Amino acid sequence: MNYTIAIPVYNGARTLGAAIASARDQNAPFPFEVLVVDNASTDSTPEIIQTFTGRVRVLRNPSMVTMYENHNVCLREAAGRHVLFCHADDVLEPHALTTVDRALCTVPTPERTVLWGRSLFRDFARMLEISGYALDEVFSGPSAVKPFLYYGVSPSGTCYPRETMNAVGGFVYTAHPLCPNDWMTMILLANREFSFVMIDQLYMRRKFSSTLPDNTPLARRMEAGEAAIRDLRLVLRDDDILATLKASFDLKVPPTAFYYACAKNRLSRPGIKRHLLLKGLRYPLLWKDPLAIRTLLA
């Protein structure tokens, strides 16, 4: 089987039914499975899932794990070679799976390629543009990390190669409730020679973030970013992170959240500060970014 649509859920009774129905009702002309992994929900999520019994495969964690560990359960238990995630508060368009399959058939190494599409919320196309990449372009290699230094790609609506994801340990572990795990994971995958492609197709309805809302205070974002780099150092060598920093220095728009987190973790702090000072001389608007100032003060 080529595809699993995985729906990790915790207390998602209000929206889960629509997510499962959208996965089940794909118009794909090939076999696929829908896998729902309930993270020990305490609301009526189990009852909602039961209404789909026989049409989806259901697993329930005996006790609650972190959100991204639940994603890793999905990766380990999936039968498909590729895993397309759909969060419980999102909805796939009927053509989602056929769109993903058609795109993956054109990439050189689908077994190492992460693929996603356009979004109504935090569309990632701008990150590609400022990093020198284009929609529908497969990119890999030392510079592939650049778009992910600004922020990550939500797993919901993203298709991952199951075997190679499991081989690198899946999504990076973190215990911080606001930690940008998608950011950490994409940096890890870029350093593990994965390929990436964002296709110019909208196949999912996603309108907000349930984990890191736009109104999250800056102090909490800074704390989460610092924790992210601390946890990333458990799975990436410091030399890899320093190489990533070096690759970032030719970006026109400095990824200041990444710089702040690295500086707080004492990774190339003098080099980051020197780079920001030089950038600020050329682009004075940089000093309107509070994270640029805080990085210099770190």
For residue range 250-267, what is the model confidence (pLDDT) as tens digits?
Answer: 999 999 999 999 999 999
Residue 235: HSE in the Cβ half-sphere, 13 Å Cα cutoff = 22
Order across the sheet with 113-116: list the strands: 57-60, 32-38, 3-9, 82-85, 159-161, 113-116, 195-198
Helix (H) or strand (E) holding 185: helix 181-191
The stretch 12-19 carries a mean pLDDT of 96
| SS3 of residue 197 by DSSP | strand
Q: Flag the least confident range among 35-44, 74-83, 209-218.
A: 209-218
- pLDDT of 6 strictly over 60: yes
- pLDDT of 60 strictly over 60: yes
- pLDDT of 95 strictly over 90: yes
Confirm whether pTM is higher than 0.85.
Answer: yes
Q: Flag the least confident range among 38-47, 178-187, 234-243.
A: 178-187
271 CB burial (10 A radius; 0-12, 13-18, 19+): middle
The stretch 31-43 carries a mean pLDDT of 97
% of the chain surpassing 90 pLDDT: 79
- pLDDT of 195 strictly over 80: yes
114 CA to centre of own chain = 10
Pair of tokens at residue 284? 């004075």
The stretch 231-248 carries a mean pLDDT of 92
The stretch 112-128 carries a mean pLDDT of 94
- pLDDT of 73 strictly over 70: yes
- pLDDT of 42 strictly over 90: yes
pLDDT at 209: 56
- pLDDT of 170 strictly over 70: yes
pLDDT at 222: 83
pLDDT at 53: 77
Q: Flag the least confident range among 38-52, 63-77, 162-176, 224-238.
A: 224-238
pLDDT at 75: 98
% of the chain surpassing 70 pLDDT: 97
Helix (H) or strand (E) holding 184: helix 181-191
Q: Yes or no: say if 93 and 106 are a contact pair by the CB < 8 Å rule.
A: no
